[in-house]
Structure 1
């Protein structure tokens, strides 16, 4: 660590009443194509590459966030990486954890509590599944409030399926509209060399697949991947040190809804309805300002409902909204431009990968899948079974 640099920057932050702006400075994804890497190794590789992508050194890092690995994730993983951070976070609320940690890190950096924060994740979900170490249809146990639902066989997939059926009942959403979400994801994955599945699929193929939990067929459920990801956040006074243009954090919001299905008042509305409103208000933006979206898509219904909740269309209009290729590359709202969790990468928690793809899009690094002139990105991650959501607005200015 460099005491002089840290003390100077923190003193500068304390000397002004204006919070420091915060930017994403480096991003990276690590893949386990050989099937031999461990979650820690994937996380470490992603971290090294993200710090290098930012043009920084390990000793520059004074903040760290991680979850899912070990009993004390940020401490154990920080030790593994050779870090001794002065700011840490290990928020664990499912797939939205990373956007929440990014928001917490943004607040910490803005206040001068840290200068350079790394968020990192690694998982071998695909290899574990093949080894029989985990189930594809997750059961979250029967402790606490879940004990009242466990006897009825409520797995994670079943809970999303129930919500999807409710939306279909209330608004007339069709099986073909849900299937289009999967088809669009595969369309976007076609030119992504990091995507697990790139061959095109059709609506008929999606609907003809094996039913996993009615109405979801196999291709409407997220894939399982081995992968790691890392994102580096920095204070505005470090931007001059960067190798690449900064991607600014413009606003964020977070919200939790329920854990018991009996306590979810409306299966057609998720917590993004609150977090999205907060994020747009704090960023001073509206959905019409957004050029590209990266939205958590563990199941097709998750994406459709989140688009509604964020205000890109009215409640109940998500089905018609995604028709005619609107969310595909080249459409009016390119969404999950890497192929999403349905086709590209889903290693158990996908939230950090959303931030990586959004940053790459805003830096113009996506080659044939690049959204032209992308300046504003909306990132929205959902955890559990619509239990939590965190939304972030990112921009180039």
Structure 2
């Protein structure tokens, strides 16, 4: 399937604090932008893949979205793998297209945790909540502590990830947070859950985003101006809660990446730019290791000295990621991957030919990988 499906267009709302906006209204706006970018009429769409709104689950929300769009899709519905959902839905759409189940698919996500409710992020996780394991950051803090204990990873190394993402976000006029971060500022910030400081943690943002997926052949027929080929995709899932995992420093991201890289016919050395899920800085650290960009335990040294900035060894999250562009779960990384391959990013990597995008959900429970390129 390498290159048989393409991302034909994308659209998104503003990012940040959007009072009065519902997930449904933001979905419609993002879809309209994606169809306009692809220069495809709405009537061509026959599949609608929807990530459910994390902060407020709604029954049959996929059908509600289709109704609001005025569509009668052959395939439609809501999927949930947390932050891994968006890439997974893109892969499901590509496979459905390949097997003749649909021709043109919309893949959408929207939520309003900033101005609506953020209860999904604040709730206790299992019985351990009574001992203080409360809210999403606690699980990631435990993983970070273990990586530090096993490999000597430092606070400054986690900070290097935050500094790079914030630098790229500051150059993005659409970013929720356009404020660069120095290492001194990072180190002076308060703990959220030790060892995670404020700037190790992603934003909480309202917003919506969508992409249009179709076959390369169909894109040529419809005259899509700048389709970006999907070269590979993969998934991996960890089915242990954090306290029960046999190891905290290895994830199924390795399986996801290996599957996608094999489909694309590439290796880590072939990647020009990466968009890696950065809900918390240790997520990036483990993904870099599990993807094979460096050896296990060497993620900390890999990210030092500007390695993740444009001009470094592996430019990362070039529109700011979840730490700066928007805290929305994952689609912004896909969209920035499309921009990089098109050559239209605000922080463009020269001659970017291969972009790897990583999504992750839960507390490193689910993982999905997308390889884009020419």
TM-score range, shorter chain: over 0.9
In the alignment, is residue 113 of structure 1 matched against residue 92 of structure 2?
no
Q: Write the distance in 1 (CA, Å) between the matches of 2:2 and 2:264.
A: 15
Matched, 1:199 2:159: no
Q: 1:152 to 1:264 in 2, by over 3 A?
A: same
* Per-residue Cα deviation, 1:110-131 (whole angstroms, up to 9, x for no partner): 1111110001111112112xxx
Aligned to 2:336: 357
**d(CA) in 2 for partners of 1:134, 1:300:** 20
Out of 253, 261, 267, the residue aligned to residue 248 of structure 2 is 267
**For 1:371, which of 349, 352, 359 is the aligned residue?**
349
Matched, 1:310 2:298: no
The one of 43, 50, 58 equivalent to 2:42 is: 58
Question: C-alpha deviations, 1:172-210, integer Å up to 9, x for none?
Answer: 000000011111111111210111122221112112111
Match for 1:244 among 225, 229, 236? 225
Q: For the Cα contact (< 8 Å) 2:2–2:263, is it kept in 1? A: no
Superposed displacement of residue 34, structure 1: 5.1
Question: Within the alignment, does 1:221 sit opposite 2:201 as a pair?
Answer: yes
How far apart, CA to CA, are the structure 2 residues paired with 1:22 and 1:242? Answer: 15
Counterpart of 1:75?
63
Q: Deviations over 1:336-390 (max 9, x none)?
A: 000110111113xx221111110111111114x1111111110111100010100
Query: Unmatched 5+ residue regions in structure 1?
Result: 1-17
Task: Give the 3-state SS of the residue equivalent to 2:213 in structure 1.
Answer: strand
| Distance apart, 1:270 and its partner CA | 1.6
Partner of 1:208: 188
Measure, in 1, the Cα distance between the counterparts of 2:303 and 2:3. 38
Residue of structure 1 aligned with 2:154, choices 164, 174, 186: 174
Per-residue Cα deviation, 1:82-133 (whole angstroms, up to 9, x for no partner): 11110124220100011111111111011111110001111112112xxxx3
Gaps of 5+ in 2: none
Q: Within the alignment, does 1:25 sit opposite 2:8 as a pair?
A: yes
- What is the root-mean-square deviation of aligned Cα atoms in Å? 1.7
Instruction: Give me the whole-angstrom Cα distance separating, in 1, the residues matched to 2:67 and 2:145.
Output: 46
Inter-partner Cα distance in structure 2 for 1:382 and 1:300: 13
**Which residue of 219, 234, 239 corresponds with 2:214?**
234
- Over 3 Å counting, the alpha-carbon distance change for 1:116 and 1:137 in structure 2 is closer
Q: Give how far 1:262 is off.
A: 3.2
Alignment TM-score, normalising by the size of structure 2: 0.94
Task: Count how many residue pairs are aligned between Structure 1 and Structure 2.
Answer: 367
Q: TM-score, normalised by structure 1?
A: 0.89
Deviations 1:23-69 (A, max 9, x none): 00001111166523222111110000101100101101001110224
The answer as to 2:85 corresponding to 1:97 is yes
Is 1:158–2:142 an aligned residue pair? no
Partner of residue 84, structure 1: 72
Divergent runs of 4+, >6 A: none
Task: Give yes or no for contact 1:89–1:101 (8 Å, CA) kept in 2.
Answer: no
The superposition leaves residues 290-319 of structure 1 with CA deviations (integer Å, 9 ceiling, x where unpaired) of: 111011100011111111111111100100
